[in-house]
Structure 1
Amino acid sequence: MSDASIRDSIHHRRDLLRLFGAAGIGLTATACADDESESEPPYDGPFYVVVNASGGWDTTYLMDPKGVGGINRLYDNGDILTEGEIKFAPTSKHITEGMSNEDFFARYAKELLVLNGLDYSVNNHSPCSRYMATGHLDSAAYPTFAALVAACRGPECPLSFLTFGNYSATANLVPMARVPYIQSLKLLANADSVHGATQHPYHDDFASDRIEQTLAKQNQRSATRSSLPRQKRAESMLYAAQWNSQSLSRITPHIPKSVPKDPLSQQAEIALASFKAGVCVSANLTVGQFDSHQKNDEDQMKLLPRLLASIDYLLRRAEELQIREKLVLVMQSEMGRTPNYNNGDGKDHWSIGSIMFLGPGIRGNRVIGATDDAQMPHPFDPQSLSLNPENGIRVRPEHIHIALRELAGVADHPFAERFPFKVAETEKLADLWGIGET
């Protein structure tokens, strides 16, 4: 292989670098790397997924059912169902596609932790989305939980923090990676092949080895000569593109041959393939249109079953990929819906809602917190987690985020300490995850 061909191949690497940059892939490399260097070992979990029902879900049609006071028009109080300790609204008679509450909770109640009566404090989309994502209402400087845990646990991963929309601030702790389509993932995973087709590589193995050796020597020479910081960083990033290309190639065996039609399930496939390949720590998944100011019941009965079906798809695929036991799942929305209907048969924004969790380190078949018949939260004791109307607290997103950081083992990480929450020790939720219980 001629030196000119090698130079042409290195130019291809620069094109690859631009492709990575468009996806937001983190490119970092040690300036003194030599030809003995190897790509980073695969990240082996745990993996974190935050599913956002963007727009504001109606929790009375899910995990906080109310059959009184005209809060809903599809069931009565006596119709409310129970699976284990979890009460839920009956939906099987009202849906035409997706997954009913009956099927979802029958399959997952034993693993689910439900928290009702979460106080969002405000009911505007933008601040609520930020509040739920970061745990801080008044600052745009805080990272989302998904970004923070990625920065703490796997900052060297090429796709450490994947996001598909919603509030996704990183506080510059970790790159924000966007891979919107499975075909985009295929191109990234097979960047050394024509149009991502592994059967059509740009070079044979011998040529690829020569390219890698040349790049390594070039990077080593640049490390020993004096140059401006900007130039040195650019050269380092070019070299990192080579190693990230090798890491991303591990995704290829896990890219599905058939693409699911549902957008949230497509997001799940991209995240799961990246998890399995060890190139991703966390993913922020999003499905929208829950803002049902008109025809609330009709819209929610379309969207909630689709959401549950996609979550079921995510969990079943994780099982097939043998990473289910490493997957932590947070299911949330930035607000709830009012306990009354407006003139358009819709429901408006409501600052009280619910959140669900599932995964390793979380004891399921539990419900913490509650709302009354007017859909207002019952205060509860943060130590015992039992209702305490007189001396209890209202649980807010910062309480949840403190607990999530502890669950992920990053509460004492320097990155987390840069973004503290002003919550008294006596207000922190003791053993929210139930791991201290028998």
Structure 2
Amino acid sequence: MNFSRRNFLQVMGIAGGVVALREFAGRVPMAHADPGASPGLFLLCYMRGGWDQLLTLDPRDNTDPRFSEANARKAGGSGIMPAYDMVTEAATKTLLASNPSGVQRAGNLSFGPAVPTTLMDHAADLAILRGVSMDTLTHEVGRRYFTTGKFPRGLAASGSSITTLVANAGGPTPLLPNLAVSTESYNEGLPSFASPTSVNSTADLQLVLKPLGKALDPKSAEAIEAFQAKSDTCENHELDQSSVVTTFRELTKKSHSVAKSNAASLFQFSLTSPPAEVKTLFDALGISTAADLAGPRGRAAIAAQALAKGISQAVSVELADDLDDHDSWDTDHAPKIRTAMDALGRLITVLKNTPHKDGGSVWSKTTLLLFSDFARTPLVNTRNGRDHHLASSALVAGPKIRGNQVVGATADQLMGAQLINPGTGKVDASGVKMRPADIHATLLTSMGIALDPIRNQNPTVISALLK
């Protein structure tokens, strides 16, 4: 991404915030269910393209006769083919040699063969949601549905991202309340400070966090800042009918705070001579090459610093960017899944090992959501690929989320989403289907944030997930 000065304003949320306020002026800011409490931190992790649940969060025993290729493909058969023995990845082959089923277990959870131990080590904190009904097989729709918890208008996102809701509930104090790392993020009608700061790399962040151009002498800078703070003319009020001037002034004030901070030093991600603290982070995340830094581990490092150092209230980060394997699934899918989930597992470890200023660890204050556009078909196609499938899954965690459990399920025939009892999390023929809107409602409830923005989706809180 090439950054012009216009791009910089967009990154800082000015353009997005102005549009949001212009289009939705007069709306009341969203209420916080408990105004005296902090929602905590929020980490949204996205895996682009649609993931294979059999390799990840919803596995099947590769030795079960029901799931052999012959029985999967025959009329009236299971329609489910794990096909783990087709995967060429070395780590999967090693696992199958000692565990032919391909199903890994950690606590009460089960994982497919592409999930690394670095993530499974955190099973006690994690809840797997299976049988999430996506209601779409279009990438943009699935991605935006899970990002906002509201079904899109055509291809266009509807509502604000969950990260924006959390940033709004937390207030404007953090330098970059809502940081989006290689992800889409939206603000519909909320204050401009909650708008996402969108970056793809640490170079982008340096542009955001460092002053532009040559620094003024301190007295001149103070005089300009004081003038801008006090400027309150008739012209300003006349031009502020749609809150454009107010937004600009708020963001000007924020830009002074950002420029005077030393936050840029936290993201000096040099491989040759990183600051000691950054080197410790690199070691924890396994970053040693330029490819590591440009990939999931590098993006995880940005998220780690933003959350651990109090730069952001909410961070969204893309951990996998090319999972749409309609062909070559056997060679391509497992390595990409493993790399992304390893980055997430390492990131959680970093957050667990980082003290929070209010006590406990940063992880103990963090709510997590991991998702993809939708799932992939349980049958392998003629090109050794898997196509799009409606029944997906998600991974969640948080201070008020009950971990070490599986909620929901897919059927052992055709892998369709099952109805669940939201109170128990178990399959219930008279229950409800689990949707992204319901997952959002549950996570927001766990953080003490009111459900006003998604109430028109008629969400069901999955109380089985709540402590």
TM-score normalized with structure 2 length: 0.72
Partner of 2:59, secondary structure, is coil
Structure 2 residue identity aligned to 1:275: L
Equivalent residue for 1:417? 452
**Distance in 2 of aligned mates of 1:182 and 1:84:** 37
Calculate percent identity across the aligned residue pairs.
Answer: 20
- 1:125-164 CA distances to partner (integer Å, 9 max, x unpaired)? 1211121112222433311211221122234544222223
Shift of 1:45: 7.1
Figure out how many residues of one structure are paired with residues of the other and give that number. Answer: 377
Equivalent residue for 1:179? 199
* Structure-2 change in CA distance of 1:57 and 1:256 (3 Å): same
Shift of 1:386: 2.0
Equivalent residue for 1:143? 160
1:386 aligns with one of 417, 426, 445: 426
Equivalent residue for 1:222? 231
CA contact (8 A) 2:130 2:394 kept: yes
Shift of 1:44: 8.5
Q: Which runs of 5+ in 1 are unaligned?
A: 1-14, 29-42, 92-99, 195-201
Q: For residues 22-33 of structure 1, what are the structure 2 equivalents within 5 Å?
A: 22-25=10-13
RMSD: 3.1
Q: For residues 29-108 of structure 1, what are the structure 2 equivalents within 5 Å?
A: 46-66=40-60, 67=62, 68-70=67-69, 71-74=81-84, 78-91=101-114, 100-105=115-120, 107-108=121-122
Equivalent residue for 1:189? 209
Equivalent residue for 1:296? 329
Partner of 2:234, secondary structure, is coil
- 1:309 counterpart = 2:342: yes
Equivalent residue for 1:213? 222
**Distance in 2 of aligned mates of 1:89 and 1:238:** 49
Structure 1 residue identity aligned to 2:83: R
Structure 1 residue identity aligned to 2:234: S
Structure 1 residue identity aligned to 2:209: A
- 1:43-70 CA distances to partner (integer Å, 9 max, x unpaired)? 9972211111111000111121113243
2:463 aligns with one of 400, 422, 430: 430
* Structure-2 change in CA distance of 1:72 and 1:127 (3 Å): same
Partner of 2:44, secondary structure, is strand
**Distance in 1 of aligned mates of 2:187 and 2:381:** 37
Equivalent residue for 2:132? 118
Partner of 1:301, secondary structure, is helix
Structure 1 residue identity aligned to 2:298: Q
- 1:268 counterpart = 2:297: no
Equivalent residue for 2:91? none
CA contact (8 A) 2:39 2:449 kept: no
Shift of 1:117: 0.9
Partner of 1:342, secondary structure, is coil
**Distance in 2 of aligned mates of 1:17 and 1:158:** 20
Q: Which runs of 5+ in 2 are unaligned?
A: 18-36, 70-80, 86-95, 272-281, 356-361
Equivalent residue for 1:250? 263
**Distance in 2 of aligned mates of 1:44 and 1:18:** 33
Shift of 1:351: 0.3
* Structure-2 change in CA distance of 1:154 and 1:255 (3 Å): farther
**Distance in 1 of aligned mates of 2:457 and 2:230:** 49
Q: For residues 269-348 of structure 1, what are the structure 2 equivalents within 5 Å?
A: 269-286=301-318, 287-322=320-355, 323-348=362-387
Shift of 1:243: 2.5
TM-score normalized with structure 1 length: 0.77
Shift of 1:397: 1.2
* Structure-2 change in CA distance of 1:172 and 1:266 (3 Å): farther
* Structure-2 change in CA distance of 1:301 and 1:227 (3 Å): same
CA contact (8 A) 1:215 1:239 kept: no
* Structure-2 change in CA distance of 1:53 and 1:221 (3 Å): closer
CA contact (8 A) 1:47 1:282 kept: yes
**Distance in 2 of aligned mates of 1:19 and 1:137:** 28
Structure 2 residue identity aligned to 1:101: P
CA contact (8 A) 2:12 2:208 kept: no
